[in-house]
Amino acid sequence: MKYRTPLARVRGLGSARSGSHHWWMQRLTAIALVPLSVWFVASLLMVVTADHATAIQWLRSPLVAILCSALIVALFYHAQLGIQVVIEDYVHAESAKLVSIVLVKLVSLLLAAACLFAVLSIAFAN
Amino acid sequence: MPMEKSQRPLSPHLQIYRPQLTSVLSITHRATGVALVFGTLLLVYWLLAAASGADAYASAQALLGSWLGRVVLLGFSFALFFHLCNGVRHLFWDAGLGFELKTVYASGHAVIIVSVLLTVAAWAVAYAMRGGA
């Protein structure tokens, strides 16, 4: 530890330059996903075997739309953090690692936006 | 940068070790996590189909309800329940709980049993809702 500068020590950000933020957000989203995913799967079992009108009616309720949006945000945040760790573990070439992590993050953002758009367009459709 | 082959001894490779419940569940957690990312694409598809209208929704339902779709969904649901249960196990470890060897094995067995039971229960409910078809 004595090789670290006092500034590095007081910042506490480590070699990843982000401290424990990644770890913390993965746990935070995990905790959020426990009730959200149980609720979502349980509700989906009631809805998924029915027709389009039933699904729309379910998605249109404000509580469902809010919880679905929360699920989507937590899910994609959690997923891209997890895939980032897998890439960091198995992809060793620095450039390929950087490119794949950036791609995973951007694609996750895009897919989350698509899901949110779908949920909100159903919720706000008249 | 020229990389000279290191002459230092290596620790045995992973395949040398006899698989243990702990290591198998650990890699399964990662594998199910990666699988769930691909499964999430089905969620994206399903939501977009629902938002697009009755026709798109009907074809999404037909695809997901097909023989192949159901097999994929069966795998997806087990991966989800396993990752969920083992994730809760990880959260307990993060809180500093359950590190005794006996507890680690007991919670590991519990994760397998509960995730299988949840998968069976979910499919039983889905088929019951559908009216046995």
Query: Is B7 part of any domain?
Result: no
Query: Is B9 part of any domain?
Result: no
- Within 10 A of A110 (CB to CB), how many other CB atoms are there? 12
With cut-offs at 50, 70 and 90, classify the pLDDT of residue B119.
very high
Query: Is A54 part of any domain?
Result: yes
Query: Is B124 part of any domain?
Result: yes
Query: Is B111 part of any domain?
Result: yes
Q: Is A10 on the interface with B (CB under 8 A)?
A: no
Domain carrying residue A54: 22-124
Q: Is the pLDDT of residue A93 over 80?
A: yes
C-alpha B69/C-alpha A105 separation (Å) is 27
Helix ranges restricted to H, B6-94: 21-52, 54-65, 67-94
Taking contacts as CB-CB distances below 8 angstroms, the residues of chain A near B130 are: 49
Residue with tokens 């023989």: B67
Distance from CA of A54 to the nearest CA of B (A): 10
Q: Is B14 on the interface with A (CB under 8 A)?
A: no
Q: Is the pLDDT of residue B1 over 60?
A: no
Domain count, chain B: 1
**pLDDT at B9 (0 to 100):** 82
CATH classification at residue B68: 1.20.1300.10
**pLDDT at A50 (0 to 100):** 81
Q: Structure pTM?
A: 0.90
Taking contacts as CB-CB distances below 8 angstroms, the residues of chain B near A49 are: 126, 129-130
**pLDDT at B4 (0 to 100):** 65
Domain carrying residue B119: 20-130
Which of A18-27, A86-95, B7-16, B47-56 is least confident?
Answer: B7-16
Query: Is A114 part of any domain?
Result: yes
Q: Is A119 on the interface with B (CB under 8 A)?
A: yes
CATH classification at residue A118: 1.20.1300.10
With cut-offs at 50, 70 and 90, classify the pLDDT of residue A70.
very high
Query: Is B3 part of any domain?
Result: no
Q: Is A115 on the interface with B (CB under 8 A)?
A: yes
Q: Is the pLDDT of residue A13 over 90?
A: no
Q: Is the pLDDT of residue B127 over 60?
A: yes
pLDDT, tens only, B26-61: 999 999 999 999 999 999 999 999 999 999 999 999
Distances in Å between the Cα of B56 and the Cα atoms of A52, A118, B14 are 9, 13, 47
Mutation target among B41, B47, B88 for the A interface, most CBs of A within 10 A: B47
Query: Is B98 part of any domain?
Result: yes
C-alpha B79/C-alpha B31 separation (Å) is 9
Query: Is B94 part of any domain?
Result: yes
Q: Is the pLDDT of residue B2 over 60?
A: no
Query: Is A10 part of any domain?
Result: no
Q: What is the mean predicted confidence (pLDDT) over A28-34? A: 98
Distances in Å between the Cα of A85 and the Cα atoms of A17, A45, A81 are 15, 32, 7
Q: Is B70 on the interface with A (CB under 8 A)?
A: no
Residue with tokens 């009755």: B54
